[in-house]
A and B are shown apart, each in its own frame.
Chain A
Amino acid sequence: MTIQIRKGKRATEPQCLGSQRSLNSEDLLFPNQTGDSKAAVYFQLSNGRFRPPPAHRLIAHHIVDTIAPIFFRVSRTMWLPLRLTLLLLFLLLSPRALLRSGSAAVVSGEEEEFHEELLLKPLPDRKVLAHFHFHSIAPPSKSNGRHHHLFPKAISQLVLFPSSVPFAMWSDLDLILNFLFRLLNNCFSSSRKYDVFLIVFALIGVIVGEFLSFGQVQKFRVKEMELSFTQGRWNYERWGGFDPISSNNAKPPGVELWAVFDVPEDQVDAYWKNLTNSLSGLFCASINFLESSTMYSAPKWSFRITPGRLRYGTLPREAVCTENLTPWLKLLPCRDKAGLAALLDRPSIYKGFYHSQRLYLTSNASVPAETVSGISLEQTLTVVLQPNSPSSSSIHSGESNFQPSWSLSSIFGRKISGKCVLAQSSIVYLQLEKSIFSEQKDNMDNGPNSLASEGFAGGSGFEMSLDPDIVIEEENQSQHKGSSVLYGFWVEKYNESQPFDLGLKWKYPVFWSSRQAPLHASRFLMGSGNERGAIAILFKSANSADSSSGSRHVSDGCELQVDVFQVVPWYIKVYYHSLQIFVDDEAKPIGDFVHKIQVSPSKDKTSPGMMEMLLKLPCDVRSAALTLEFDKGFLHIDEYPPDANQGYDIPSAVISFPSFHSVMHLLSNDSIRKSPLLSRFQEKNRVQSYTEVLLVPLTTPDFSMPYNVITITCTVFALFFGSLLNVLRRRVGEEERYLKAGKKKGWLRVLLSRLLAKLRGKPMEEPDQPSSESAPLIGKKLVLKVILVAVLAVAWQFYST
């Protein structure tokens, strides 16, 4: 029976296409293919005025129109159970699913795209940066259904589907009603009474199914999301702090996740929780810890310029390893079997100094304008590796400053044997600083003028093993250092027999330095002991030349804007009133420099503390420091992690410079426009850097003590309670005697004392009689009682075992 239904489904497709055509040809008599005029009437009613319904609804109507007759053909020939199963099966394939698959089959104008690129860049401190950039684009929202050719399905499910919820609900509902109406019509015509029950059953089933799918489809509604796994710390001083890679791809250690949602503000937290859980499963990481409200925050303006329903969370302690890389690679169409990803040899990339894998997802699905692409997924892997080249060091044994020569096979231990066949483009770039050439010109004075010929002709200080297919120069008006040259290599030219193995050999020692951010930010802790401390953020001017050139962006007042975004966990109880600013080692009033500050103080066990601050420092500032005092919190023993004495991490602060943008002005070229990596480099992004993660040791209680503490404390309480009550109810004999002598006894008391005496089997006590005499008697009784209890206990023990 499933086969039959599938047949029916498949049979709809040409009809759907036909209906599309009929709509395009302005044929308003759209239901004429089935000859059912009631549907048309229904449309008229539901829309208020007659107008051609959208294409996907038309298609769905055709599905209904084709399936319903099949269903009834079957039902007339077979008996009831079969029909019930068929109906159930049909209901399971809910109308919405049919709708989606139908529409996906129809509108597939744009192809899904996949690009792979690799940027290699020698770093000033004899290391090599390798930056893998994989870009998948799913076509506009209209056509992405549940099926993708290249785009990872797991990621596409994170994103919202096009139509807003209530409309989708209603558009489906009228389909369902239409279907049921026809069902009813058919039944009454066939005059079978029990079919009414069937219809009621179907109605319930459809509604339930509709609600189920309503819950499933709009899963996370992520508008923009970035997830990064990082090990090691980006060295801003040596590897640069101004270029696009350091601003976009240098990430704090551990996991960082932020996401912008397309849901009402009050639902964002719920969606965030779902997202963290599913990402946790997807990447084998403990991202689900970000679910707790103590772990994430909602920055307003300092983290991203775009305001929105943003949530931000980090896990500084997360260890990143192959278990996180493998699921990340699985999202690539060729995995690591072919193309550039084949270079990713696990031992060699985890041997590096810095390793950051990142996933950046944007979706414009919710935007009604369909000019932009639907979902775009950017997967980058940035590694900083130390090329080991024993040959070069042995040749120039005296030169310790000689840049090491390297090749892809020496860094990664692998070669590229052709591109990933599914990729639109597969390019390897080599980025070199322009300052190298000028330096060589100064040193050698014999280089030809053209950079391009100088680069690979072998007349200059380095030599590439392969000729580049394209040379792109950075167009920089100011011509200060930091501009660079890119050599591009098409990987598609190479194959298994002739693998791509780019090598770079230095002929002369060269020196250059990467371009720095205007201020170098670092963060440290002050104070000792486990009771309190202070966090200090120190800004140091990178160097005078840079800051003076950067100041051109700013108006004549010459101010350097710095955004600080810092999240501290709740057990670090920051006193925001203790904020102090030291500019050039002098304490200054806060109002002079802090232009804007927004604080959301931490709530115990509920939310972390968040501070957003916009500083305006003078351009000629040499150093600036912020200090904030804090008290360390004390936690319940269950809240300590297993390695409690290691300490707690304060996540990195994000320092960004709103008036500086890391952008590469490349000479515009057709190949650049096609390359997602280069177009990403040409985007205007704020210069951003992350500070160190701080490790704060917290005091621990004695973890082995809970029972002792409970018993001892309760003993003290019992001591208090017991002894005080004892004092209060104690009456000394004299007083009693006085009471008996001085006052007449109440008859009740007399009766009571007589009764007591009777019970004890003793004559009524004389007041003068010392109480010590009765002690042995009580002792005797006590012994008897104890023996009785003991016998009982022994008997119990005996019989129970």
Chain B
Amino acid sequence: MPTANTEEENSKSELQKNHGGGGGFTRWAVVAVIFRLALIYFPGNLNLSSRPEVSTPLTSIRRLAEGYWLKQSSMSPYAGSMYHGSPLLLSVLGPLTVKSLVFVLADLISSILIRATGRKLQIAYRKSLKSLNLLNKSTDSGALSSGDIAALVYLWNPFTIVACVGLSTSPVENLFTILTLYGAATGLAPLAAFGWVMATHLSLYPAILIIPVILLLGYGPDAPPSKLFRSKEHGKVGDGKSSQEIIFSWRRVFHLLVWTSLWSVYVLVLCSISVKQHGSLQEMFQRTYGFILTVEDLSPNIGVLWYFFAEVFDFFRDFFLIVFHSNILFMILPLAIRLKHRPCFLAFVYIAISSMLKSYPSVGDSALYLGLLGLFLDELADMQFSFFLFCGYVGVSLLSPVMHNLWIWRGTGNANFYYATAMAYACFQIVLVVESVSSMLNHDRKLTKLSTSKLQK
């Protein structure tokens, strides 16, 4: 789905670009919003809010309503094991009668931010290519705005639409993750800090984005490997212009850290105010982060952990919990070392990995990284297996509900059927991540090759 979809959008937006740039995006965005509203006010019940693909124990709107009800009847929202979300979300979303509009708005803002981030990235990309004298060579094929495409992919991705219409809270979580990237890409440390703190507060996994955010603020947006510039500098002695770009700006990072601590204190204070009457912050952490880390709820979802922990022997449980969670952490350092010159792409890879290995994944998480994938259209142009992946995503997203229906509703299938689709989905995600990383590295190699060949000429 990602790349083929991208290609589709690619051609579309290319057409629109010919007719006149931003107008195309606006039109499509408006149509996407109208489409969402039409689905939300669809007379028949689509039952999307109770689909396991859409609503996990963390993002389910029904659980949020239960938490709000408990809070209203003067109990702790975390009494029982229904609600596992943030108390802030409860205070904001709980009293609203039309919750769906918030999610539509969140999606729209997310897409606008993605577009802005994309612009920023593209400008930086062109600039760096220009400085390497590779511009005409590389951009004759990719002269279209990848930001527009990414934003539209995000808006029109069926996963995003389903997550939004199914009223899961993942659009809001995605919004804060995207806000982090936007803030970091535009160099706004307070905004990036706010986004990061909120995203971490809501779903814990974006915590690992602190590394790409620091790199993004320190080095600026994605660029070809720094040694390329250095070697170029080496070749062209006396050119002072390129030497500026590889300076790591500690000042911004310092700002980020200060703002991060400020925002986290602020969020914690807000949380403690909102849970003060019936519980404590410790209970909140236990019920949110603790629930994420010790995979307590074994209801089926599109991830692989639920069935594993439903079947694994009890005395191995802790061991495997550690192993699976550290699988995310293990990859942080190698990726950061290898992709430090492309922090935005690094963030994409982190998001993809965490949405694949997180304890309660939903399609909303996939929607986020598929949308971000569009940002790197130019770099990933020669990615392998894109058609295969597209077919895989489509196939899995069609088969998975069927298997779920066979198992849960009809009783003719069994758990293994549904689990098999979850495994296939995990495999496709793995292939996507590995291939995108590999093609990004290849792209860098290609740039290196081109620039060295230019140098040698």
Contacts and interface: CB of A to CB of B under 8 A. Distances in A.
A278 B354 CA distance: 50
A573 B334 CA distance: 42
Contacts of A602: 80-81
Contacts of A603: 80-81
Interface stretch (A133-141, A456-464, A723-731): A723-731
Contact of B423 (A609, A699, A716): A716
A530 to B, nearest CB: 5
A702 interface: yes
Contact of A742 (B231, B323, B426, B427): B231
Contacts of A573: 81-82
Interface in B281-331: 296-300, 304, 306-314, 323-324, 327, 330-331
Nearest to A703: B311
Interface string A318-360: 0000000000000000000000000000000000000000000
B300 A634 contact: yes
A600 interface: yes
B217 to A, nearest CB: 24
- Tell which of A578, A700, A713, A730 has the most Cβ of chain B within 10 Å: A713
A798 interface: no
B296 A604 contact: yes
Given A575-B62, A634-B300, A727 B409 contact: no
B331 A701 contact: no
A352 B407 CA distance: 40
B389 to A, nearest CB: 14
Contacts of A575: 62, 65-66, 82
Contact of B311 (A633, A701, A723): A701
B68 interface: yes
B449 interface: yes
B310 A637 contact: yes
Contact of A728 (B62, B297, B335, B416): B335
Interface stretch (B101-109, B156-164, B390-398, B429-437): B429-437
B138 interface: no
Contacts of A701: 307, 310-311, 414-415
Interface in B17-63: 50, 52, 62
Nearest to B436: A727
Interface string A740-770: 0011000000000000000000000000000
B65 A531 contact: no
A713 B430 contact: no
A709 interface: yes
Interface in B411-456: 411, 414-416, 419, 423, 426-427, 430, 433-434, 437-438, 441, 445, 448-449, 452
A604 B338 CA distance: 43
Interface stretch (B69-77, B129-137, B145-153, B367-375): B69-77
Interface of A is mostly: mixed
A197 interface: no
Contact of B409 (A531, A702, A720): A531
Nearest to A597: B73
A425 B313 CA distance: 60
A110 interface: no
B452 A709 contact: no
A730 B297 CA distance: 39
B291 to A, nearest CB: 9
A72 interface: no
Contacts of A635: 298, 310
A727 B431 CA distance: 11
Contact of A734 (B304, B357, B449): B449
B415 A636 contact: no
A735 B338 CA distance: 14
A636 B426 contact: no
B408 interface: yes
A42 interface: no
A785 to B, nearest CB: 29
Contacts of A634: 297-300, 306, 310
B269 interface: no
A705 B80 contact: no
A208 interface: no
Interface in A623-649: 631, 633-638
Contacts of A717: 323-324, 327
A192 interface: no
A599 B62 contact: no
B299 A601 contact: no
Contacts of A601: 66, 70, 75, 79-82
A591 to B, nearest CB: 12
Nearest to B441: A727
A719 B427 contact: yes
A713 B327 CA distance: 13
A711 to B, nearest CB: 11
Contact of B69 (A577, A609, A732): A577
A710 interface: yes
A127 to B, nearest CB: 39
Contacts of B448: 735, 738
Contacts of B415: 699-702, 705
A609 B70 CA distance: 13
Contacts of B334: 724-725, 728-729
A93 interface: no
B327 A716 contact: no
Contacts of B309: 636
Nearest to B339: A728
Contacts of A724: 331, 334-335, 430, 433-434, 437
Interface in A676-728: 699-702, 705-706, 709-710, 712-713, 716-717, 719-721, 723-725, 727-728
A738 B324 CA distance: 38
A706 B434 contact: no
Nearest to A724: B434
Contacts of B314: 636, 638
Contact of A531 (B50, B438, B441): B50
Nearest to A645: B411
B327 A721 contact: yes
Contacts of B323: 717
Contacts of B419: 709
Given A603-B81, A636-B314, A530 B411 contact: yes
5 nearest interchain CB pairs?
A: A601-B80, A577-B69, A529-B409, A706-B311, A604-B81
12 contacts: A575-B65, A602-B81, A604-B296, A604-B297, A631-B299, A634-B298, A636-B310, A701-B415, A709-B308, A712-B423, A724-B334, A727-B434
Given A604-B296, A701-B311, 7 more contacts: A530-B408, A603-B80, A636-B298, A637-B310, A734-B449, A742-B452, A743-B231
